[in-house]
Amino acid sequence: MSKRIAVLTGAGISTDSGIPDYRGPSGVWTRDPELAGLFTRKHFLANAGVRRRFWRALTLYDDVEPNPAHLALAELERTTAVRILTQNVDGLHQKAGSTPRKVLELHGNLAATECMRCHARTPTAEVLARGEDDPACTGCGGVLQPSIVLFGQHLNAGVLSHAANIARASEVFVAVGSSLGVEPAAGLCAVAAESGATVVIVNRDPTPYDHLAATIVREPIGEALPALCTELAG
């Protein structure tokens, strides 16, 4: 049984929950390439039209539930030391039962919204309940942004350092549902491999880090990850 397992999860793990990925055949950026350029921090702050499109897109996350892949990782935690490093902002790992302190959200979480002027934080559900297409801070009128990392923003240095330490300490590093095309999160695969971890990649399409993997799984994540978790649990 492996004692220390780190799992990097990307958008592909949540597609079975009804949230589209970004770069797959039916991905958000694939269907509308303009969105990738629009959802940058610069455009979000400067353009009310971009913000309106962004807030409308949040309806994709309404009432989503964890799928078998999320549940398998939560179950694996019962028998094995597991840390989850997720690029996702949907909170589904915690909803599936993974211990919140063992889930490191590299790109933030949609659950909270922050004012870019006074930095007041509000539950995103309360902001959405106002029904406004471009909600502003009720305190100072500043632009509101969910507490996630947009294109053009840097990852929190402390969070990234913590993630790198987890990758270095892992005996098995599993990358699931990620194109591994967005740095620096994708580089955690190399950090783990250089420290001697066995790398496993579960993804439908090839990734830039496939050459580091001892095992590559192309089967659907909802089927492949539960089977892999059973194997890792011994």
CA 28/CA 49 separation, integer angstroms: 18
Task: Give me the residue label for tokens 């049984």.
Answer: 1
Predicted pLDDT of residue 33:
60
Residue 16's alpha-carbon distances to 12, 13, 92, in angstroms, are 8, 7, 12
Class of domain 24-63+111-148: alpha beta
Predicted pLDDT of residue 1:
47
- List, by residue number, the catalytic residues: 107
CA 104/CA 162 separation, integer angstroms: 8
Which superfamily, per CATH, for 1-19+66-107+154-234? TPP-binding domain (3.40.50.1220)
Residue 29's alpha-carbon distances to 32, 51, 181, in angstroms, are 5, 17, 13
In three-state secondary structure terms, 152 is coil
In three-state secondary structure terms, 12 is helix
Predicted pLDDT of residue 220:
95
pLDDT less than 50: residues of the chain:
1
Domain ranges of the chain: 1-19+66-107+154-234, 24-63+111-148
Predicted pLDDT of residue 26:
55
Predicted pLDDT of residue 62:
67
